[in-house]
């Protein structure tokens, strides 16, 4: 099975490259082969490679920057995935498109279900919602896989930031009223590969799904777990979102209902605590 993956240096693409099973022949496409900001580049590469499935692990994820550069975010997160999806439809192959909890407004306390109406709070969420719509409209077999709070030993993410700041300071003020599920990039990579393989055999399972870590926690709770496992003596002071202003609004409720994903693909929610231990081990941090 040949799988074309867009994105090469991000957390997800890095883990896909590391974790693909032997029967999967990966073609990892960096920007020099397909620039998502160049019209037609992604579709041309799909036609050239002629894979059995496509995974789009590339995205513009700079949430605050997107507020000033929404056109660019939309090209990368919406226009390019739409072109990928139409190329996949022409070849009769499936596309796995990774999306985000930011398509929701974060209201309420119940976990968001795949069929709930999107209402993004900012530019990043709007661009990802537009990408979802373009994929659905393409006619391609597809899985839109929404996730949240992705972390790994690679790139920039909350775990690595907390490790750095926790060693520099005696205490940190961390937001405690945003709740969700941290998602190990390794688990998300496994999910993307599994979904791609299933869709090749069962395109009727096309649709929108959720995949995020469990149990739910807050950013403050996540920070405490990081410090505890890494043996870092840094106190965490809980604060509300209102005390941590940022250009882009963040959803307070990022809980995702992942039951449909388990039913369709047999994928259980990963325990982020296990994933965190693996990340700390890879980074050479002392863990418990």
Q: Which residues are catalytic?
A: 124
Count how many residues are written for the chain.
288
At residue 202, the 3 state secondary structure works out as coil
Instruction: For residue 118, report the phi and psi dihedrals to the nearest 5 degrees.
Output: -65, 150
What is the C-alpha separation between 272 and 215, in angstroms, rounded? 7
With b meaning 16 or more CB within 10 Å and e meaning fewer, what string describes 271-282? bbbebbbebbee
How is residue 231 written in tokens? 């043996």
CA 123 to chain centre: 16
What is the C-alpha separation between 127 and 18, in angstroms, rounded? 29
Long-range contact pairs involving 118-122 (C-beta distance under 8 Å, separation at least 24): 121/248, 121/249, 121/250, 121/251, 122/63, 122/66, 122/67, 122/248, 122/249
Q: Which helix (H) or strand (E) holds 15?
A: helix 11-19
């Amino acid at each position: 099975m040949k799988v074309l993956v867009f994105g090469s240096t991000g957390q997800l693409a890095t883990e896909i490259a590391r974790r693909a099973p032997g029967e999967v022949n990966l073609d990892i496409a960096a920007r020099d082969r397909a620039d998502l900001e160049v019209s037609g580049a992604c579709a041309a590469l799909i036609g050239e490679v002629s894979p059995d499935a496509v995974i789009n692990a590339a995205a513009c994820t700079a949430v605050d920057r997107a507020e000033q550069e929404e056109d660019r975010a939309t090209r990368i997160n919406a226009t390019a995935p739409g072109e990928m999806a139409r190329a996949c439809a022409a070849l009769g192959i499936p596309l796995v498109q990774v999306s985000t909890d930011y398509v929701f407004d974060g209201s309420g306390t119940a976990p968001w279900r795949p069929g709930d109406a999107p209402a993004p709070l900012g530019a990043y969420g709007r661009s990802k919602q537009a990408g979802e719509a373009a994929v659905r409209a393409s006619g391609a077999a597809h899985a839109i896989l929404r996730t949240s709070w992705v972390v790994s030993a690679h790139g920039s993410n909350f775990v690595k930031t907390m490790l750095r700041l926790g060693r520099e300071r005696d205490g940190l003020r961390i937001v405690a009223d945003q709740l969700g599920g941290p998602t190990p990039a390794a688990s998300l990579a496994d999910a993307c590969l599994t979904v791609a393989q299933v869709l090749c055999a069962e395109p009727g399972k096309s649709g929108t799904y959720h995949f995020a870590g469990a149990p739910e926690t807050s950013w403050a709770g996540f920070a405490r777990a990081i410090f505890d496992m890494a043996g870092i003596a840094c106190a965490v002071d809980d604060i509300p979102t209102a005390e941590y202003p940022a250009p882009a609004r963040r959803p307070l409720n990022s809980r995702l209902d992942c039951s449909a994903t388990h039913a369709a693909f047999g994928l259980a929610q990963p325990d982020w605590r296990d994933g965190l231990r693996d990340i700390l081990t890879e980074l050479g941090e002392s863990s418990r």
